[in-house]
């Protein structure tokens, strides 16, 4: 990875400002794991999960776009 520091280490501040529009912003961390207990298990979702096409129990089907009425 090429960092701004690597590129700019021997240059003045003007070039740094010049590249600022190209620099990705710092993003706030997504800290959801504090909410949970136990080990974090990461998986590779299979096609049937990542292309989940729910039918009756809530659906994004073009013909049946509705929330389930079951509670």
- Residues making contact with other proteins (CB under 8 A): 1-4, 6-7, 15, 18-25, 27-28, 30, 32-38, 40-45, 47-71
Task: State the nearest-atom distance from the C-beta of 29 to other proteins, in Å.
Answer: 10
**Spatial separation of the C-alpha atoms in residues 11 and 18, rounded to whole Å:** 12
**Spatial separation of the C-alpha atoms in residues 31 and 40, rounded to whole Å:** 13
C-beta closer to other proteins: residue 12 or 28: 28
Contact 52, 45 (CB under 8 A): no
Task: State the nearest-atom distance from the C-beta of 12 to other proteins, in Å.
Answer: 14
């Amino acid at each position: 990875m090429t960092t701004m520091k690597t590129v700019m280490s021997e240059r003045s501040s003007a070039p740094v400002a010049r590249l600022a529009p190209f620099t990705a912003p710092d993003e706030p961390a997504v800290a959801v794991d504090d909410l949970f207990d136990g080990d974090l298990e990461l998986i590779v979702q299979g096609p049937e999960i990542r292309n989940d096409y729910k039918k009756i129990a809530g659906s994004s089907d073009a013909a049946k776009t509705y929330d389930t009425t079951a509670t």
